[in-house]
Amino acid sequence: MRLHDLKPRPGAKHRKKRLGQGESSGHGKTSGRGGKGQSARSGSSMRHGFEGGQMPLIRRIPKRGFNNSRFATTYIPVNVESLNDFDDGARVEEKNLREVGLANGKSSGGIKILGDGKLTKKLTVVASAFSAGARKQIEALGGTCEAPTPKAA
């Protein structure tokens, strides 16, 4: 196979819809824009949920209840098996986990160690939260589970 032999998979490329090519093309006259009105004009675009000035459905429906998602604590999950990447007797903190690539992304609550897999090394793990299974595995091998010290203001 050479570079000039490469071509897209069947069905991946579509013919461009040619608008305004006469009545019998199927895309003539109004060119798929329907009749008159705001959406038929050039340069027209309306935001999602816009109902022509009528009070939109999302604003007509009563809002009730409380949603905790804004205030919920979100942790970055790290399985106990992935801690085997560290040396025996090492101190594992959020900084180390990020350097190795085990904890990526933004977290408001820190890191939670989950008990999936099998830990084989004695480690001192510093994390915001631990599942019961993870804590049991870490402490069974003589390691310790610690909470991070809060930063001084």
* Domain spanning 75-146, CATH architecture: Ribosomal Protein L15; Chain: K; domain 2 (3.100)
Instruction: Encode pLDDT of 3-59 as tens digits.
Output: 999 999 999 999 999 999 999 999 999 999 999 988 899 998 999 999 989 999 999
37: exposed, middle or buried (Cβ count in 10 Å: 0-12, 13-18, 19+): exposed
Domain ranges of the chain: 75-146
Strand partners, 124: 91, 144
The structure's pTM equals: 0.58
